[in-house]
Amino acid sequence: MNFFFEVLIGGLLSGVMYALVALGFVMIYKASGVFNFAQGAMVYLAALSVVGCMEKGAPLWLAIILAFVIMTLFGIATEKFVLRKLVNQPPIALFMATIGLAFFIEGVAPMIFGSEPRALDLGIVDEPIESIMENWNMVISKFDLVAAGVAAVLVATLALFFQYTRVGRALRAVADDHQAALSIGIPLQHIWAIVWGVAGFVALVAGMMWGARNGVQFALTFTALKALPVLILGGFTSVPGAIVGGLIIGASEKLAEIYIPPVMQDLFGGNFGGIEGWFPYVLALLFLLVRPEGLFGEKHIDRV
Amino acid sequence: MIKGFKPALAAAAVSLALFSQGGFAAEEQFFPLIDYRVGPYGSNGQAFYGGFIDYLNYVNLKEKGVNGVMMTWEECETEYNNAKGVECYERLKGKAAKSAGPIHTMSTGISYALIDKSAQDKLPLAMMGYGRTDAVDGSVFPYAFPLVTTYQMQASAIVKFIKDKNGGNLAGKKIVYLYHDSAYGKEAIIAMEAEASLNKFQLVQIPVAHPGNEQGAQWLKIRQEKPDYVVFWGWGVMNQTALKAAQKVGYPRDKMIGSWWTGSEEDVVPAGDAAKGYMAATWNVAGKQVPVIADIEKVVYGAGKGNLQDTAKIGTVLYNRGVSAAVLSVEAIRKGQEKYGKGKALNGEQMRWALENLNITEARLKQVGATNLLPEIKTSCDNHEGSGKVKVQQWDGAKWVPVSDWIEGNKALIHPLFQASAKQYAKEKGITPRDCSKEK
């Protein structure tokens, strides 16, 4: 039973890491109704900017600020050169634009900052907490707990931002209908630049946490793969949904990885395992059948 | 001025005429380099192909080629993508038809995609430490060369290393095989199972789904299993993630021994202190203490012809691996020229013969400045591997340090597995194996 809880808690903490990436998707989707295919690449760009600036001699705090500036400028440039021309175009056109953006980042970012896998030391050691290990014989990582704290602060800030600020309300209006938002005087270009900047900030936080955990390298773009089932589960428009979805996906995939393969082996023989790559997607698919808008997603009703 | 101009013009015209007829044209040995320097594993490719090209340049600068035959090459970027690998092959094979150095793709997927095509086109495909391992049996795979050593022989050598550390007895021990859940990761399972059966240790297999950037469950399972050792078959981000996850669950890194694709600087530096003490097999050593590596830096980079922008990569595991691959390729050219004529470029069929008749001894390695860079190699029709030896190296936090001599895998146990697999392949494809006793 102790082992079960160890796996469960480890899974929940992993889920927080997924949620950090999922939040970036939610930001863009809420403001433009577009699934941002480039979010994984933005996580990579943000982390690469931090280590790139550090290699040029900047201390960590300055590197983070500079990376934030880079991500904000990137957001503004994306609005100006990519999205502005696509106002009122079908969402698929915007989606295709983000695919192009992803490949652009993946090609250009390593040309600027180098493609070497590098370590990112945030000063948080990824080691078990000794007191928990001694008293309960359970591995709970210090790093994962810090990540959970960071995610909690980020979610609270974003939720307040969307709910209680004028910009937040404007973002939601823009997401509902570009043309209607424009007609009542909401500055669409301004709003999009802000939201891409905020999404860049979320990508920076996710990139630093994932980069500190596994190293800063091209594979950071793959973190998006972990965020997709989280979004399906939590809903594409809900900030708390990203967290809850992350927790469910993280815990379920870890429990599945431990407990399903032995059953499969008993039933069919052979060697099973490595199922956490596809299990979250199957779970999300099943969830789609029951609740297509996700746990916290907005139910969209069209007039006929 | 005008006076001197006319004879000079005449001389140039005569030279041009002779050159166009091939009269003074130097022979060239062409290498179709199907490589990658960008994309997910670009940094690995930069070091490997940087080392490879630097050695070809070194031979050109230092010796004016092999008996006057200059090394030439053309690169084609694959981004480690199989479809692009095939596209590159199709683009370069025309040039390689006349003179062909071995093709090095440094990708198992691309090698698999090219294995039949290259045989049809009679272009030798080298797979040093990757690719289709049953191609050791040259009677079925005449144009494929998994040179130096294979995943299965490597796994066997790692078990031998662990056995030696345990007084020659592994009975009752528990070894976890943690692997990338792909063809690459699964290749060594057959060898690990054979070794477990022979040495009576318990083998626990734990796969990790691609890309392997999340291994929490696997390492909690390892903690529960309490293995004596973890043999680790990772790739890319899976490597750093495993080292960090091992640290997280408190598993000692000096009980982890990885394959050669988990044992470069690129694999351990991003993991920081978590990598300290970790061991990995390798078929080539790192460092600039190897004479040829130091000389390349002096001769090639001294002449401003170095291939790497980031010279810090010189002497790294993957750079030295690229040099090692080039050393073997150039030695094959020398061998081929002994048979087919000195100063003449080799075509694909001649190169195939040369790769199949390599005999690179310690003495020869010393002559080319590659002492201890790689093991001795002796290939034949029924042994396209030629060595089967690895060293084990340990990361001390700053560099890889060899902690063993060359260790040969259990050939009597492993090679029959290759032969059985190759026989099956021949049956499926309707190939009549060559009679190796008639090949010389």
pLDDT of residue B17 exceeding 70: no
The nearest CA of chain B is from the CA of A231 a distance in Å of 18
Distance of alpha carbon B331 from alpha carbon B343, whole angstroms:
14
CA distance readout (Å), B417 to A170, A216, B150, B312, B377: 67, 40, 12, 41, 21
The nearest CA of chain B is from the CA of A278 a distance in Å of 9
Please give the average per-residue pLDDT across A106-133, as a whole number: 89
CB pairs under 8 A between A and B: 121
pLDDT of residue B16 exceeding 60: no
pLDDT of residue A298 exceeding 90: no
Of all residues in chain B, the percent with pLDDT exceeding 90 is 86
Q: Is any Cβ of chain B less than 8 angstroms from the Cβ of A118?
A: yes
Give pLDDT, residue A302.
Answer: 65
Give pLDDT, residue A15.
Answer: 93
DSSP-assigned letters across all residues of B305-346:
--S-S-GGGTTSHHHHHHHHHHHHHHHHHHHHHHHH-TT---
Instruction: Answer yes or no: do A217 and B211 touch at CB < 8 A.
Output: no
Give pLDDT, residue A114.
Answer: 87
Instruction: Answer yes or no: do A126 and B214 touch at CB < 8 A.
Output: no
Q: Is any Cβ of chain B less than 8 angstroms from the Cβ of A115?
A: yes
Give pLDDT, residue A301.
Answer: 67
Give pLDDT, residue B19.
Answer: 43
| Nearest by CB: B216 against A10, A116, A217 | A10
With beta carbons under 8 A apart, name residues in chain A contacting B217: 7, 10-11, 253-254, 257-258, 276
Instruction: Answer yes or no: do B209 and A7 touch at CB < 8 A.
Output: no
Q: Sign of torsion, CA B323 B324 B329 B331?
A: positive
B315-369 pLDDT, tens digit per residue, is 999 999 999 999 999 999 999 999 999 999 999 999 999 999 999 999 999 999 9
Instruction: Answer yes or no: do B237 and A141 touch at CB < 8 A.
Output: no
The domain limits of chain B are: 27-149+285-378, 152-282
Closest alpha carbon within chain A to B186? A271
Residue ranges in B21-134 assigned as alpha helix (H) = 42-63, 82-96, 108-121
pLDDT of residue B161 exceeding 80: yes
With beta carbons under 8 A apart, name residues in chain B contacting A213: 241, 244
Q: Are B220 and A7 in contact (CB under 8 A)?
A: yes
CA distance readout (Å), A160 to A26, A90, A230, A243: 15, 30, 21, 15
Distance of alpha carbon A17 from alpha carbon A141, whole angstroms:
13
pLDDT of residue B175 exceeding 80: yes
Closest CA to B331 of B143, B156, B126, B158: B126
Lowest mean pLDDT among A238-247, B224-233, B350-359, B367-376: A238-247
Give pLDDT, residue B268.
Answer: 96
| Nearest by CB: B271 against A133, A143, A215 | A215
Closest alpha carbon within chain A to B222? A258
Closest alpha carbon within chain B to A121? B272
Instruction: Answer yes or no: do A126 and B274 touch at CB < 8 A.
Output: yes
| Nearest by CB: B237 against A7, A118, A214 | A214
The DSSP element (H or E) to which B104 belongs, if any, is: strand B103-104
With beta carbons under 8 A apart, name residues in chain A contacting B42: 110, 115, 218
Instruction: Answer yes or no: do A222 and B213 touch at CB < 8 A.
Output: yes
Distance of alpha carbon A293 from alpha carbon B335, whole angstroms:
68
Instruction: Answer yes or no: do A126 and B207 touch at CB < 8 A.
Output: no
Instruction: Answer yes or no: do A277 and B210 touch at CB < 8 A.
Output: yes
Instruction: Answer yes or no: do B240 and A214 touch at CB < 8 A.
Output: yes
Q: In three state form, how does the secondary structure of chain A look?
A: CHHHHHHHHHHHHHHHHHHHHHHHHHHHHHHHCCCCCCHHHHHHHHHHHHHHHHHCCCCHHHHHHHHHHHHHHHHHHHHHHHHHHHCCCCHHHHHHHHHHHHHHHHHHHHHHHCCCCECCCCCCCCCECHHHHHHHCCCCEHHHHHHHHHHHHHHHHHHHHHHHCHHHHHHHHHHHCHHHHHHCCCCHHHHHHHHHHHHHHHHHHHHHHHHHHHCECHHHHHHHHHHHHHHHHHCCCCHHHHHHHHHHHHHHHHHHHHHHHHHHHHHHCCCCCCHHHCHHHHHHHHHHHHCCCCCCCCCCCCCC
B65-91 pLDDT, tens digit per residue, is 999 999 999 999 999 999 999 999 999
The DSSP element (H or E) to which B152 belongs, if any, is: helix B151-165
Identical fold between B27-149+285-378 and B152-282: yes
Please give the mean pLDDT across all residues of chain A: 89
B132-158 pLDDT, tens digit per residue, is 999 999 999 999 999 999 999 999 999
The nearest CA of chain A is from the CA of B189 a distance in Å of 11
Instruction: Answer yes or no: do A214 and B269 touch at CB < 8 A.
Output: no
| Nearest by CB: B249 against A139, A217, A271 | A139
pLDDT of residue B107 exceeding 70: yes
With beta carbons under 8 A apart, name residues in chain B contacting A126: 244, 247-248, 274
Chain B positions touching chain A (beta carbons under 8 Å): 38-43, 46, 181, 189, 205-211, 213-214, 216-218, 220-221, 223-224, 236-237, 240-241, 244, 247-250, 266-267, 269-272, 274, 310
pLDDT band for position A296 (cuts 50, 70, 90): confident
Q: Sign of torsion, CA B350 B351 B353 B357?
A: positive
The CATH architecture assigned to B27-149+285-378 reads 3-Layer(aba) Sandwich (3.40)
Instruction: Answer yes or no: do A117 and B241 touch at CB < 8 A.
Output: no
Q: Please state which CATH number belongs to domain B152-282.
A: 3.40.50.2300
Distance of CA A48 to the CA centre of its chain: 16
Instruction: Answer yes or no: do A274 and B209 touch at CB < 8 A.
Output: yes
Q: Is any Cβ of chain B less than 8 angstroms from the Cβ of A14?
A: yes
Instruction: Answer yes or no: do A115 and B220 touch at CB < 8 A.
Output: no
pLDDT band for position B18 (cuts 50, 70, 90): very low
Helices A239-268 and A279-290, packing angle to 10 deg: 120
With beta carbons under 8 A apart, name residues in chain B contacting A127: 247-248, 250
Instruction: Answer yes or no: do A219 and B236 touch at CB < 8 A.
Output: yes
With beta carbons under 8 A apart, name residues in chain A contacting B211: 219, 222
Please give the average per-residue pLDDT across B170-197, as a whole number: 95
Q: What is the ipTM of this complex?
A: 0.86
Instruction: Answer yes or no: do A117 and B240 touch at CB < 8 A.
Output: yes
| Nearest by CB: A223 against B213, B269, B274 | B213
With beta carbons under 8 A apart, name residues in chain A contacting B220: 3, 6-7, 10, 139, 254, 258
With beta carbons under 8 A apart, name residues in chain B contacting A133: 250
| Nearest by CB: A128 against B217, B250, B274 | B250
Instruction: Answer yes or no: do B214 and A7 touch at CB < 8 A.
Output: no
Question: Pairing relation of β-strands B70-77 and B28-35?
Answer: parallel
pLDDT of residue A293 exceeding 60: yes
Q: Are B346 and B29 in contact (CB under 8 A)?
A: yes
With beta carbons under 8 A apart, name residues in chain B contacting A247: none
Instruction: Answer yes or no: do A117 and B217 touch at CB < 8 A.
Output: no
Closest alpha carbon within chain A to B312? A116
- Listed by number, the residues of chain A in 79-108 with a beta carbon closer than 8 Å to a beta carbon of chain B are 107
Closest alpha carbon within chain B to A225? B211
pLDDT of residue B12 exceeding 80: no
pLDDT of residue A261 exceeding 60: yes
A127-164 pLDDT, tens digit per residue, is 888 888 888 888 888 899 999 999 889 988 888 888 88
